Amino acid sequence: MTDQTTPRVALIAGGAGGMGAAIAARLSSEGYAVAIADLESERLTATVDTLAAGGGDALAVPLDMRRIASCAAAVDAVLAWRGRLDVVVNSAGVWREGDSVTMTEADWDIVFDVNLKGAFFLIQAAIPHLGAGASIVNIASDAGLVGNNGAAIYCASKGGLVLLTKALALELAPRQIRVNAVCPGDVATPMIEFQAERYGEGDPDGYKAKLLSNYPQRAAARFIRPEEIARMVAFLCEPDGAPITGAALSIDFGVTAGY
Ligand SMILES: NC(=O)c1ccc[n+]([C@@H]2O[C@H](COP(=O)([O-])OP(=O)(O)OC[C@H]3O[C@@H](n4cnc5c(N)ncnc54)[C@H](O)[C@@H]3O)[C@@H](O)[C@H]2O)c1
Q: Report the DSSP beta bridge partners of residue 33.
A: 9
pTM, full prediction:
0.98
Instruction: Please give the angle made by the CA atoms of 181, 14 and 185, to the nearest 5 degrees.
Output: 45
Residue 31 confidence (pLDDT) above 60 = yes
Atom of ligand 1 nearest to the CA of 20: 16
Residue 106 confidence (pLDDT) above 70 = yes
Residue 168 confidence (pLDDT) above 60 = yes
Q: CATH says 9-187+225-250 is which class?
A: alpha beta
141 lines ligand 1 (CB under 6 A): yes
Average pLDDT in the chain: 97
Residue 3 confidence (pLDDT) above 90 = no
Portion of the chain with pLDDT greater than 90, in percent: 95
Neighbours of 208 (CB within 10 A): 18
Domain extents for the chain? Answer: 9-187+225-250, 189-223
How much is the pLDDT for 2?
59
In this structure, the residue with its CA closest to atom 29 of ligand 1 is: 39
Q: Report the DSSP beta bridge partners of residue 161.
A: none
Question: In sequence order, what are the residues at sequence separation of 6 or more whose Cβ sits closer than 8 angstroms to the Cβ of residue 37?
Answer: 11, 12, 13, 14, 15, 44, 61, 62, 63, 74, 92
CA distance 36 to 28: 11
CA distance 80 to 83: 6
How much is the pLDDT for 241?
73
The Å distance, Cα 3 to ligand 1 centre, comes to: 31
Residue 161 confidence (pLDDT) above 60 = yes
Residue 1 confidence (pLDDT) above 80 = no
The Å distance, Cα 189 to ligand 1 centre, comes to: 9
Which residue type is seen at 164?
A: L
Contact 137, 129 (CB under 8 A): no
In this structure, the residue with its CA closest to atom 26 of ligand 1 is: 92
Can 32 be counted among the known catalytic residues?
A: no
Q: Calculate mean pLDDT across residues 203-228.
A: 97
